[in-house]
Structure 1
Amino acid sequence: MIVMLLSYVVPPETITAHRAAHLDWLRDGLESGRLLFAGRKVPVTGGMIVVRGTQAEAEAWAATDPFAVHGLAEYQFIEIEPSVVAPGLEALKG
C-alpha cells in the first residue's frame, strides 16, 4: 500500500476553488477500490491519501488529481506493508 502525502503550494482560496473536483477524484478512487482512506492535514496545509497498489500505480493515479493537474500540491509517496493493525483493520495487512 502507498501513503501519499500532499503539501499545498498555493493559497487556501485556490485549493478551495478546486476542492469539489478533487473530492470527485477521491470518490472515483473509492468506487474503483484503489482508495482506502484520505483526509486533510491539521492545520490544513495538505492531505494524506492511502491507496492499494504499487508506487508506480499510485504516482500515475496521483497525476490525474485536479490538484496535480493544476499544480496546486506537491506529492510524496511512501510504500508501506502493515504488519500490526487494530481489530477490525485486518484487511490492511499485506
Structure 2
Amino acid sequence: MFVLELTYTAPVEQVDALMTDHVAWLDAQYEAGVFLASGRKQPRDGGVILAVAPSRADVEAVAAADPFVTGGVCAYRITEFVATKTAPGLEAYRQAPVA
C-alpha cells in the first residue's frame, strides 16, 4: 500500500486552474481500483492519497500522469507501507508482514 503526499509548488490559483483535470484523473484511478481515499491537506498546501498498486513503479507512473504534475504545480512524496491491520471494510487490502 502507498501513501502519496502532494505538495503544491505553485500558487493555489494555478492549482485551481488544473483542478477539473485533476479530479477527472482521480476519478479514473478510483475506477481502476488504485485509489482508496484522497483529500486536501489542512492547511491547503497539497493533498494525500491512499493507494494500492502491484509495485512502486506502477504507483510512480500513476502519480507522474497527474495533471498537477504535468502542469508543474505539485511534487509527490510516495511512502510504501505494509498494511498489516485495517478497519472493517478494508480487509481485502490487509497484507502479511514482510520478513
Question: Normalising by the residue count of structure 2, what TM-score does the alignment of the two structures yield?
Answer: 0.89
How many Å apart are 1:92 and its aligned residue?
A: 2.6
Partner of 1:60: 61
Partner of 2:35: 35
Output the amino acid matched with 1:42: Q
Partner of 1:82: 83
Q: Deviations over 1:3-43 (max 9, x none)?
A: 11000010011111101100000000011111111111011
SS of 1:28's partner is: helix
SS of 1:82's partner is: coil
- Identify the range of structure 1 (83-92 vs 55-64) with the bigger mean alpha-carbon deviation: 83-92
State the distance in 2 between where 1:49 and 1:6 align.
Answer: 8
Partner of 1:15: 15
State the distance in 1 between where 2:86 and 2:34 align.
Answer: 19
How many Å apart are 1:50 and its aligned residue?
A: 1.4
Aligned positions, number = 94
Identity of aligned residues (%): 39
**C-alpha root-mean-square deviation of aligned residues, in Å?**
1.0
Unpaired stretches in structure 2, ≥5 consecutive residues: none
State the distance in 1 between where 2:65 and 2:87 align.
Answer: 32
State the distance in 1 between where 2:22 and 2:58 align.
Answer: 18
Unpaired stretches in structure 1, ≥5 consecutive residues: none
SS of 1:43's partner is: coil
Output the amino acid matched with 1:20: T
Partner of 1:4: 4
Partner of 2:70: 69
